[in-house]
């Protein structure tokens, strides 16, 4: 999975992530000495610096890395599995299911009962969506998977819109709208603990498909003849779907929907990793983490009285990348 030729790229991306992590811990409205704050944090002293870093900046940075990595990796895995550079974790309907679950928590007023119920609703929505998806797809192939994902996405989007339409108070509708746009602001270590286990488990499951994705570049039949099971409970398709769903579902549950990271990051890194699906995985995870930390820094830099949601920003970065691709493709075909 890790090729010697990719060491410089991986090292550069990892250095970028590390630099942005330090920057996001140091940078903020209140000046804090990071070494002192970290010392206090580790020693359990409740200094101002330790509270700011430990309860505000660290969870935000950890979530930025974990969610960015999960989105980048799942994009690379989906694009490799479907052999389509435009595939994206959102295609499976899992993000839509998570959003619907969270919106229902707002709608029923449960969001006010406990802060835990919002991510729990998101997770439940994501899991329900993936179970429905796997049930719908059965032994079907990639086309059935795409169609089932599209059907689920549209249905979840329609139900989400209906819930917002019927929302009892405009304030709640506004809250939902902001949540759906995605954000890392004001997340706590509780959100980290809710999101991290599923994110890690999903990512590990996705990484088990690396060699199969390489084989699939040669077609389904060659992959099967090379000993990779595609369908069935332990097959590649189930691992791709479950891995993506568990990781992305766990992310969306705490951050809201953050689009374009899964689409753009693998797209940008593919030429640098020799167009080989397995080699793309780790760089995409690091690239996703870097992009989301950068986007979060931009959110903090650009936001005035009203904060720009991070999902809006990633879409604003992602769409021009695609405009550029369209123009480049048109030129190459002219």
Partner 1 sequence: MTGLVARGVTLVLGGRTVLHEAGVAVAPGEVVGVIGPNGAGKSTLLRALAGIQRPDKGEVMLEGRELAGMTPGDRARRLSFLPQEGEPTPPMRVEDLVALGRLPHRAARDGARDRAAVDRALAETGLLDLRDRPASQLSGGERARLRLARALAVEASFLLADEPVAALDPAHALAVMASFDRLGRAGVGVAVVLHDLTLAGRFCHRLVLMRDGRVVAQGTAAEILTDATMRAVYGVTVRRVGDAIVPWSLTGGCQADEQRVS
Q: If 0-12 CB within 10 Å is exposed, 13-18 middle and 19+ buried, where does residue 149 land?
A: buried
Choose, by CB under 8 A, the member of 144, 159, 178, 229 that binds partner 1: 229
Return the half-sphere exposure (C-beta side, CA atoms, 13 A cut-off) of residue 177: 10
Choose, by CB under 8 A, the member of 53, 228, 285, 293 that binds partner 1: 228
Interacting residues with partner 1 between 73 and 132 (CB under 8 A)? none
In whole angstroms, how close is the CB of 271 to partner 1 at the nearest point? 9
User: Smallest Cα–Cα separation from 80: which of 223, 197, 255, 195?
Assistant: 223
Q: Give the DSSP H/E element, type plus range, for residue 83.
A: none
Stretch that binds partner 1, among 32-40, 98-106, 128-136, 269-277 (CB under 8 A): 269-277
In the complex with partner 1, which residue's Cβ is closer, 118 or 216? 216
In the complex with partner 1, which residue's Cβ is closer, 84 or 303? 84
Q: Counting contacts by CB under 8 A, is residue 316 touching partner 1?
A: no
Task: Dig out the tokens for 213 from the structure.
Answer: 């994705």
Q: Counting contacts by CB under 8 A, is residue 2 touching partner 1?
A: no
In the complex with partner 1, which residue's Cβ is closer, 15 or 328? 328
In whole angstroms, how close is the CB of 143 to partner 1 at the nearest point? 15
By rule CB under 8 A, what count of residues binds partner 1? 17
Which residues lie closer than 8 Å to 131 by C-beta, 6 or more apart?
none
Q: Counting contacts by CB under 8 A, is residue 48 touching partner 1?
A: no
Q: Are 258 and 67 in contact (CB under 8 A)?
A: yes
Q: Counting contacts by CB under 8 A, is residue 226 touching partner 1?
A: yes
In the complex with partner 1, which residue's Cβ is closer, 144 or 319? 144
Q: Are 164 and 102 in contact (CB under 8 A)?
A: no
Q: Counting contacts by CB under 8 A, is residue 328 touching partner 1?
A: no
Choose, by CB under 8 A, the member of 28, 157, 224, 319 that binds partner 1: 224
Give Cα separations from 205 to 53, 144, 201, 202, 256 (angstroms).
31, 22, 6, 5, 22
Choose, by CB under 8 A, the member of 274, 302, 303, 316 that binds partner 1: 274
CA dist 56 and 41 (Å) reads 12
What secondary structure letter does DSSP report for 306?
S
In whole angstroms, how close is the CB of 211 to partner 1 at the nearest point? 6
CA dist 84 and 66 (Å) reads 25
In whole angstroms, how close is the CB of 51 to partner 1 at the nearest point? 49
Q: From residue 184 to residue 223, what is the string marking binding to partner 1 with x (rule CB under 8 A)?
A: ---------------------------x--xx-xxx-xx-
| Per-position DSSP letters for 96-130, written without gaps between them | HHHHHHHHHHHHTTGGGT-TTHHHHHHHHHHHHHH
Q: Are 122 and 249 in contact (CB under 8 A)?
A: yes
In whole angstroms, how close is the CB of 217 to partner 1 at the nearest point? 5
Contact set with partner 1 (CB under 8 A): 211, 214-215, 217-219, 221-222, 224-229, 274-276
């Amino acid at each position: 999975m890790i090729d010697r030729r990719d060491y410089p790229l991986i090292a550069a991306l990892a250095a970028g992530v590390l630099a942005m992590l330090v920057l996001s811990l140091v940078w903020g409205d209140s000046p804090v000495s990071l070494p002192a704050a970290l010392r206090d944090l580790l020693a359990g002293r409740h200094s101002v610096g330790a509270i700011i870093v430990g309860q505000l900046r660290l969870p935000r940075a950890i979530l930025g890395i974990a969610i960015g990595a999960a989105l980048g990796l799942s994009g690379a895995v989906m694009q490799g599995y479907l052999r389509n550079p435009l595939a994206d974790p959102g295609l499976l309907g899992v993000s839509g299911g998570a959003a619907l679950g969270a919106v229902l928590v707002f709608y029923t007023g449960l969001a006010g009962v406990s802060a835990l119920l919002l991510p729990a609703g998101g997770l439940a929505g994501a899991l329900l969506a993936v179970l429905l998806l796997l049930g719908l797809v059965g032994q079907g192939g990639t086309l059935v998977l795409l169609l089932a994902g599209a059907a689920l996405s549209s249905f979840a989007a329609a139900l989400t819109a209906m819930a917002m339409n019927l929302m009892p108070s405009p304030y709640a509708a506004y809250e939902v709208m902001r949540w759906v746009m995605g954000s890392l602001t004001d997340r706590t270590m509780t959100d980290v603990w809710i999101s991290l286990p599923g994110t890690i488990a999903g990512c590990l499951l996705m990484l088990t498909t690396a060699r199969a994705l390489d084989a699939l570049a040669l077609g389904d039949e060659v992959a099967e003849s090379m000993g990779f099971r595609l369908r069935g409970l332990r097959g590649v398709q189930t691992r791709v779907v479950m891995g993506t769903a568990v990781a992305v579902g766990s992310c969306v549950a705490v951050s809201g929907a953050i689009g374009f990271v899964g689409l753009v990051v693998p797209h940008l890194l593919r030429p640098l990793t020799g167009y080989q699906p397995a080699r793309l995985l780790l760089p995409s995870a690091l690239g996703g983490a870097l992009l989301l930390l950068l986007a979060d820094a931009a959110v903090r830099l650009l936001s005035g009285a009203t904060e720009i949601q991070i999902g809006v920003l990633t879409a604003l970065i992602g769409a021009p990348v695609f405009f550029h691709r369209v123009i480049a493709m048109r030129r190459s075909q002219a």
